[in-house]
Structure 1
Amino acid sequence: MSGTNAWTRSRERMRRFPELLAACAGEAAEYGKCVCATAAAGSGKELRKDLCAKEFEALKACFRSAAKKTVT
Structure 2
Amino acid sequence: MSGSNVWSRSREKLRVFPELLAQCSAEAAAYGKCVAATTSSSQELKKDLCAKEFEALKTCFVNAAKKKPK
Which runs of 5 or more structure 2 residues have no equivalent in the other structure? none
Counterpart of 2:26, as a letter, is G
Unaligned segments of structure 1, at least 5 residues: none
Aligned partner of 1:53 in structure 2 is 51
RMSD between superposed Cα atoms in Å = 1.7
Moved over 2 A (4+): none
**Which residue in the other structure is 1:20 paired with?**
20
**1:13 Cα offset (Å):** 0.3
Separation (CA, whole Å) in 1 of partners of 2:16 and 2:63: 13
TM-score by length of structure 1 reads 0.87
Whose Rg is larger?
1
TM-score using structure 2 length: 0.89
